[in-house]
Amino acid sequence: MNASPLISAADLAAQLGDADLLVVDCRFELADPAKGAREYAQAHVQGAVHADLDHDLSDLSKPGLGRHPLPDAAAFSAVLARWGWTPSTRVVAYDDAGGALAAARLWWMLRLAGAREVALLDGGWGAWKQAGLPVEAASTPRAATSVAIDFDASGIVYTGELRELRKRGEVLVLDARGAPRFRGEVEPIDPVAGHIPGARNRPLSENLAADGRFKPAAELRVELLAAIGAHAPDTVIHSCGSGVSACQNLLAFEIAGLAGSRVYAPSWSGWISDSGNLVARGS
């Protein structure tokens, strides 16, 4: 892999079978949480393991931290050990939602754990199928490893810190949800509609070209700098509904060379779990 957080289908295909490569299928659908596992069982990139957003990349038992709370480092260590991961393993994650469900989430979590050889398959499952590259239905378990990672807490924002940073006017919250949800016109998932006061909207769909791949880095850079205005990239905090699709905006910033932004892990569903937090609607 190179320094880019993206890898093309052709480049990944050329590396299949490498002993130090781990491919992870992260397909997931919010309306049907079991669908990703079913589709993985029908066909997946040759040699890939499956990551379940609800069970491998979240800890749904944690209250008040949004719909997809981050798991503890020990729990994520156990997942990585089951996959046969080591600190020298190169990881490629993919889904069929432009990275939003939930490949970018895995990319972010691995980065928090100190991994640097981790990339997203550009175009995801769709690009792989369109190219006619090797798939399989069988799942061959990898040899388990011993893993003990820690998360870099500086890359994660929780509600208490966000409140303080907002009071001091030091951050910009960038919301990855679609514009109607951001404005509070519709809310198909969470019990309260709207957005965090002062937030701006950058729908994650705007990061992708018509073919489902990410826009070129230079194009993304222009658009993202326009979206954040006078704010420096390292003062940007990404949010969404539950802290999952926000990671796709974070990934877009990294592709564009705008390093240092962070993710508000509880996101909107965590923000509204505290009735004392203000809610904004409209543009």
Q: Are both 6-136 and 153-271 of the same fold?
A: yes
pLDDT digits (tens, 9 = 90+) for 201-238: 999 999 999 999 999 999 999 999 999 999 999 999 99
Q: Whole-prediction pTM value?
A: 0.97
Euclidean distance between CA atoms 161 and 208, whole angstroms: 31
Euclidean distance between CA atoms 138 and 47, whole angstroms: 9
Residues of the chain with pLDDT under 50: 1-2
Q: What is the pLDDT of residue 4?
A: 87
Residue 156, Cα to own-chain centre: how many angstroms? 13
Q: What is the pLDDT of residue 1?
A: 44
Q: What is the pLDDT of residue 141?
A: 87
Does 240 participate in catalysis according to the annotation? Answer: yes
Euclidean distance between CA atoms 24 and 38, whole angstroms: 15
Q: Which of 30, 121, 240, 258 is catalytic?
A: 240
The second-level CATH assignment, the architecture, of 153-271 is: 3-Layer(aba) Sandwich (3.40)
Domains in the chain: boundaries:
6-136, 153-271
> What is 6-136's CATH number?
3.40.250.10
Q: What is the pLDDT of residue 171?
A: 97
